[in-house]
Chains A and B, each alone.
Chain A
Amino acid sequence: MTALSGRNRTRIGLAVLGIVLLAFPWLDHNNSHIDFLANAGAFILLALGLNIVVGFAGLLDLGYAAFFAIGSYAYAMLASQQFGIHIPFWIMLFVASVIAAIFGILLGAPTLRLRGDYLAIVTLGFGEIVPQTFLNLTQFTNGPNGISSLDQPSIFGKSFGFSATPYYYVLLVLIVLGILIAVNLQRSRLGRAWMAIREDELAARHMGINTTAAKLSAFALGASFSGLAGVAYAAKLSLVSPDQFQFNVSVLVLSMLVLGGMGNIAGVIVGSFVLSFINSFLLPQSTNLAHAIGLANVDFTNYRFMLYGVILVAMMLFRPEGLIPSRQRKAEFHEAMADPTLALQEQSEYEGAART
């Protein structure tokens, strides 16, 4: 037997990927590439968090950008000249994820007993309220101008400076941590509870699962990921403003999940990387190309939102499990599509549950 077993092959593949990612800033000296990877990293972290809510627990959260905003603003207010408070970056990572989780619980506690589609619209409303509040509370947040010149993180007394490389490493570490947490959560008792709720909430409740607590923890954990991403992203930009956290950010992260495969960690990472790449490289580059060959009026970056929309619709119609599916999710989507009686039965049970 010379062939490696599947498990070992995966391990070797991951090790090679890890070495390449660690060495990347030495291999590629183009600062804009590192900058892109660091930004993509923030979105991968966001997608990992949203995946806990949407992918694992099956709750459609359309206001996820609000938690990203809360994390970013927490850093901006507690680590800048704004109030003269300067909490170190490393502590803020922890603090902001806790704050975001608290807001996740505050939003979730009254709303999580609502049926799925109401939850979607309430989270959407929350996603509107949070940036609007940051915009309106001018005396704390400088309104539309946002808060700028945030503290630069430092490590062993050495400041991060304006290079993207340290942020790249920070995000790499955070993503690895996020993956470890997500993988372990998925295999834990809680993860199985989420899966049960996603497939059939009524049945889950009958099996003795405390569905409210399980859904709340999905919300809180998902929010804490975006708190982390918010701190890292705000520190890297050294600026926060309300317009960075509009509805389209929530939809972008959702598109990443849908493209890659809801519920599958590898899928989510690939989906967010691909969409970040399209956004930051493919669309601007193809616009430049079009300009170079004389099509001066073409700007592909204008089609960005169209792209998210098409991804959401086309994937749901033709490949709802995503490019790299999770086995269970695939079965769930196809079971219902293939067997209408079962789906109807489930639907009427769901309605029964909603009425009680």
Chain B
Amino acid sequence: MHLVLASGFDTSLFFQQVENGLVIGAIYALISLGYTLVYGIIELINFAHGDVYTLGTFFSLAILTALGVSGEVHGIALVGVVLVTILGSMLLCGIVGILIERLAYRRLRNAPRLAPLITAIGMSFILENVMQLWRGPSPVPFPDLIPNPTLALGGVDISLKQVIVIGFAIVMMIALQLFITKTKMGKAMRATAQDRDAAQLMGINVNTTIMMTFLIGSALAGAAGFASGVYYGTTWFFNGFQAGLKAFTAAVLGGIGNIPGAMLGGFLIGLIEAIGTQYIPQGAQWSNVLVFSVLVLVLIFRPAGLLGESLPEKV
């Protein structure tokens, strides 16, 4: 069924773009959670976060290679391969995140704010260069491991890949929300975000808590890295730069420090990008300009973000 309205507006094309937007939005949402968690707790824009996400794609690729997977996998084996790869990538990225914090940010926690921002830029450059040396400067293909039966729903093609990416992102977000609100460590994170000194006085180990924040944020970036590899089928060492900027925009749009805000922002940025690319003439060329314009407009008119009211209760 292909619905074209009298005005010439192609609804199925529109919904196709909505669906694409939701998929890339799910990836942005996962990345932006890392920005928002870290910003919530130490008020630092972790510029290296986008590169941790790219690193996640490369780690996933390395794990798949180690497993001997280079094409489609079916049935129960697919579930196993996906789980092993995601968990491996999350673990490795989490470790990288902890190392970055320990190496580049911890010493500067009380320094003027300019200092950790500059080391963050530096870490980003170091990671990019390491990835370039590791996998070369050109795009690297990612195996198409998920079989691709598509389901046509009113003219919109929905593929299994897309369902998996979105479903998986939502599961992660719910798990994170539960972790933050229900566990003791989550409570410690919220307390540290609100007032580091008071938290310390209450017997919370602030260093461990901040380390946990980096671990979780980076692990989510690792998961997003896997999702992006599966969805786009390719990556390159510089991929995280723009994805990171867009995810940061998403975090700001939703209200930085606010977890549901980051998710909402991620999906919105994904939709803006997908729909803008379709309907603005030569939209693909302008998509970055579009997203950054959104960032500037949000910062000017609503710096607290869409869900910014709950900002005092950061994280």
Contacts and interface: CB of A to CB of B under 8 A. Distances in A.
A251 B289 contact: no
A303 B288 CA distance: 28
A316 B289 contact: no
A129 B288 contact: yes
B292 A125 contact: yes
B104 A313 contact: yes
Contacts of A302: 129, 132-133
Contacts of A309: 121-129
B122 A313 contact: yes
Contacts of A308: 122, 125
Interface stretch (B1-9, B141-149, B296-304): B296-304
B119 A317 contact: yes
Interface stretch (A86-94, A110-118, A229-237): A110-118
Interface size class of B (residues with CB under 8 A): 35 or more
Interface string B171-185: 000000000000000
Contact of B125 (A132, A251, A316): A251
A114 B299 contact: yes
A58 interface: yes
Given A110-B300, A306-B129, A313-B119, A132 B288 contact: yes
Interface stretch (A6-14, A32-40, A285-293, A331-339): A331-339
Nearest to A199: B112
B111 A337 contact: yes
Nearest to B293: A129
Contacts of B119: 312-313, 316-317
Contacts of B78: none
A126 interface: yes
Contact of A122 (B118, B125, B129, B295): B295
B285 A125 contact: no
Interface size class of A (residues with CB under 8 A): 35 or more
A62 interface: yes
Nearest to B291: A125
A258 B118 CA distance: 9
A316 B115 contact: yes
Nearest to A109: B300
The winner among B110, B126, B130, B242 for most chain A CB atoms within 10 A is: B110
Given A336-B112, A344-B110, A305 B299 contact: no
B115 to A, nearest CB: 5
B117 A120 contact: yes
A121 B111 CA distance: 20
A124 interface: yes
Give the interface SS of chain B, mostly helix, strand, loop or mixed. helix
A127 to B, nearest CB: 10
Contact of A116 (B114, B124, B249): B114
B110 A60 contact: no
A117 B118 contact: no
B313 interface: no
Nearest to B282: A136
A349 interface: no
Given A110-B300, A114-B303, A344-B197, A312 B122 contact: yes
Contacts of A54: 114
B299 A111 contact: yes
B129 A303 contact: yes
Contacts of A313: 103-104, 119, 122-123, 126
A11 B116 CA distance: 38
B111 A343 contact: yes
B44 A305 contact: no
Nearest to A304: B129
B241 A247 contact: yes
B170 interface: no
The winner among B43, B125, B197, B296 for most chain A CB atoms within 10 A is: B125
Nearest to B122: A312
Interface of B: 43-45, 103-104, 107-108, 110-119, 121-130, 132-133, 197, 241-242, 245, 248-249, 252, 282, 285-286, 288-289, 292-293, 295-296, 299-300, 303
Given A121-B245, A316-B115, 16 more contacts: A62-B121, A117-B44, A117-B45, A117-B117, A118-B303, A121-B45, A122-B296, A128-B289, A129-B288, A136-B285, A302-B129, A303-B129, A306-B133, A309-B122, A333-B115, A347-B110
The 7 closest A-B pairs by CB, nearest first: A312-B122, A309-B125, A125-B292, A309-B126, A306-B129, A313-B122, A343-B110
Interface of A: 54, 58, 60, 62, 110-111, 114, 116-118, 120-122, 124-126, 128-129, 132-133, 135-136, 247-248, 251, 254, 258, 302-303, 305-306, 308-313, 316-317, 320, 332-333, 336-337, 340, 343-344, 347, 350
